[in-house]
A and B are shown apart, each in its own frame.
Chain A
Amino acid sequence: MQLDLVPLWTLILGLAVFLYVLLDGFDLGVGILYGFAPEADRPSIMSSILPIWDGNETWLVLGGLGLLAAFPLAFAIIIPAVYFPILIMLLALVFRGAAFEFRFRHPALRRFWDHAFFSGSALATFAQGLVLGSYIQGFQVTGRIFSGSSFDWATPFSFLTGLALMSGYSLLGAGWLILKTEGALQRWSRRAGRIAFAGVMIGIIAVSLWTPALDPAIARRWFSWPNIAFLSPIPIATAALGWAEWRALSGGRDLWPFICAVGLFALSYLGIAISLWPDIVPHRYSLYDAASSPGTQAFLLIGTLFLLPVIFTYTAWSYWVFRGKVRGGQMHY
């Protein structure tokens, strides 16, 4: 007897991708804000993500390998279709990772590594947004292969999602900085958060209106009766969370801006999932079409069910260890 593991793997992979977006999202966002922050505050800003950024990035590897293992057909179609956004993202992440190390090491090149940190974060985020946009739009597929060109991703829609994601990560990053800093830097972060928030709301509204226009099936899913009744809580909740986020950014407890930003991401993620369900290669292959063989999914599941909880526990523990405010400039000097 063979258990159907596709739902479980969908859940695991969905969770891994969402975790990556949240975790690396806020530290990439911190990197974007870094470029606009006053010179004096930059060491504190970098310090706030130092102990955790590399752990966050590992979720990208696990997400990529998870997609390859659980839904290889999706991996084989999507990744070559976004060849250049992936390339830009990887190289930007490499430079950004190096900047953590070398900024302190080479004082003569500090300005260079400052730029590398900011532009690496911004470019990696924009590239991820491009991937998201071209993913929602779908790919030209013949049989089991991507048959479009390596520049199909360059559309107005994907540039919009790229900019929207930059706003989104910046909002998460601002929420993180509000949580981790105090005084002038925290006030600056609240201001930066409000600007990012404006971008996020414009982005959410624009993407929400544009996506149904891309594909009549998506429009039917959202606007046909009775779907519209069942799904209307999502836009309503988004509006409510938006209002709460605005209030939280203006004052109040330090945790709320971050929490509300996470909520906005969760709702956007849910909205995209509803638009595309049950496809993993949008408009083309469903989760079941693209799934790897049951034996493959079972073999990997054994170890994953054991190792994932350990990784979760360890991750939670390291956040606990490094909790509290970052104080007084460079942490270890």
Chain B
Amino acid sequence: MTLDPVIFSRLQWAWVIAWHILLPAFTVGLASYIAVLEGLYLFTKDELWFRLSGFWTRIFAISFGMGVVSGVIMPFQFGTNWSRFSDAAANVISPLLAYEGLMAFFLEASFLGILLFGRTLVPRWAHFFAALMVAGGTLLSSFWILATNSWMQTPAGYTIVDGRFYPEDWLQIVFSPSFPYRLTHNVVAFYITTAMVVMGVGAYLHRSGKSTAEARRMIVMALDLLIIIVPLQMFLGDQHGLNTLEYQPAKIAAIEGRYDTVQPVPLTLFGIPDDKDAVMRDAIDIPRLGSLILTHSWNGSIRGLKEWPPDERPPVALPFFAFRAMVGIGILMLIIVILGQVLRIRSRLFHSAWFLRLCQWAAPSGFIAVLAGWTTTEVGRQPWTVYGLLRTTDSVSPSLTGGDVLTSLILYIIVYLVLFPAGIALMAARVRRGVPEAMEEAVVAVESGRPPVPFEAVSQIAAPGTDT
């Protein structure tokens, strides 16, 4: 058996980016949440907001640090494993990637220092401003990285000379057809992910009797945000789907498991896709629902995969199941949020132990939904890296053997399986400590040239003497 460098390179990319994506999925929302808490503190002068922002800033610092460490790896992947893609597409996408790096560096890294160390050193408004800048930085990073991804999905504003892409119109490149949908769908997904974590952490703190007042605020804030953005996300997802149907119809066919073009289109709830025979086995169909969802009409039709030559079809199983996982989680989230609001109206929210436990279990649900959605869109783009123009098999570094890539993949797996659990354990330990009662401000010894460890300092400020 020969080892295929393309498959292993794809697995390696999936592995390193799947872990990395979890961090922005959390930090983008968390940065905005911290900015809101800082703003509430500035305007209401209620110390509770300040304690909450201190608690979450400590956790933010750890996940941000993990994001930096795993992020250093990402740009090099383009060269090590995808050098032909880099040669072909760099003229168009590299400035977008570089802007991501520059802005992340500029806004997040510089203002994060003030957010972490400046709690007593700078005026309150300046601290709030720093929080806003960090939040803005995470959003700008999302903007540029998703612009890059969107261009690969729905390329625009380019010309091709000698098999390489050249920029024609930067506005069209940055705002490619799928970009507005992808950006909003992703950012809202990040906010939902964070809100589910905040709600789960609040539920845990409440159940264990730690920081009850703070825990209640967390739960209520998360519920209020979620009741708006979970339905909003369903609308945005629908719009994103319509856009995909227009620009990447083969992806929609894979998501829906449609091999044959039929009219009207049933909705396949479940089935076992078989790419070889191009048939969905054991399908459970609901008549006409597919037409209604996909084309917003009773009789609409979408093209089945058989309308594309076999070497231009994406694999069905992964997008099909991942999409169902994502939508299923979304529906569960909606149920939880509605339940929570009903309990709240009946003033039973904080006495329903079963509901708080449910929130705790649901805390990681956003991460799974993000990974599932990302799998859907990336696998659904196959067999292309630049949709319809550059094949994945033509993107890989030609010098690599399967053995080379398998070796690096195994090493990345080992290192990440040590590093990420350690980081997650660190965050869990912070949560278990609860929100500290008094924000005793240790004076950060900047003036003596003995600055604290960035992440440590925050915990020292927040919980003096509890460190080992």
State the CA gap A84–B445 with chains docked (Å). Answer: 42
Q: Which label, helix, strand, loop or mixed, suits the secondary structure of the A interface? A: helix
A299 CB → nearest B CB, Å:
5
Cβ-neighbour of B401 out of A150, A304, A310, A332 (below 8 A): A150
Q: Tell me if A218 counts as interface (CB < 8 A to partner B).
A: no
Contact with B along A73-93 (1 / 0, CB 8 A): 101111111011011001101
Residue B376 is within 8 A (CB to CB) of chain A in the complex: no
Chain A proximity of B377: nearest CB distance (Å): 23
User: Do the beta carbons of A68 and B97 come within 8 Å of each other?
Assistant: yes
Query: In the complex where A75-B90, A146-B83, A292-B94 touch, is A322 in contact with B399 (Cβ < 8 A)?
Result: no
Residues 270 to 301 of chain A near chain B (Cβ within 8 Å)? 292-293, 295-296, 299-300
CB distance from B39 to the nearest CB of A (A): 24
Q: Does A250 contact B (CB under 8 A)?
A: no
Q: Does B285 have its Cβ within 8 Å of any Cβ on chain A?
A: no
A47, B97: Cβ atoms closer than 8 Å: no
Contact A76 B76 (CB under 8 A): no
Chain A residues with CB under 8 A of B65: 54, 97, 101
From B26-34, B315-323, B340-348, B404-412, the one touching the partner chain is B404-412
Given A68-B78, A147-B398, verify A331-B451 contact (CB < 8 Å): yes
**Contact pattern, A 112-154, Cβ under 8 Å of B = 1, otherwise 0:** 0000000000000000000000000000000011111110000
Seen from chain B, the residues whose Cβ lies within 8 Å of a Cβ on chain A are 62, 65, 68-73, 75-76, 78-81, 83-84, 86-87, 90-92, 94-95, 97-99, 101-103, 105-106, 109-110, 113, 166-167, 170, 397-401, 404, 408, 411-412, 415, 419, 422-423, 426, 445-446, 448-457, 460, 467-468
Give Cα distance in the complex from A149 to B401, angstroms.
9
The answer to whether B415 and A68 have CB atoms under 8 Å apart is: no
Q: Report A-chain residues with C-beta under 8 Å of the C-beta of B94.
A: 65, 68-69, 72, 292, 296, 300
Query: If the complex has contacts A64-B75, A98-B69, are A296 and B105 also in contact, measured as CB distance less than 8 A?
Result: no
* 8 A-B interface contacts by CB (under 8 A): A50-B451, A51-B454, A61-B72, A72-B94, A146-B83, A295-B91, A323-B449, A324-B449
- Cβ-defined contact, B167 with A307, below 8 A: no
7 nearest CB pairs, A to B: A79-B79, A324-B449, A72-B90, A332-B452, A69-B94, A80-B397, A76-B87
For residue B452, which residue of chain A has the nearest CB?
Answer: A332
Is there an interface contact between B166 and A150, defined as CB atoms closer than 8 Å?
no
CB < 8 Å: which of B71, B404, B451, B453 contacts A61? B71
Q: How far is the CB of B121 from chain A (nearest CB, A)?
A: 10
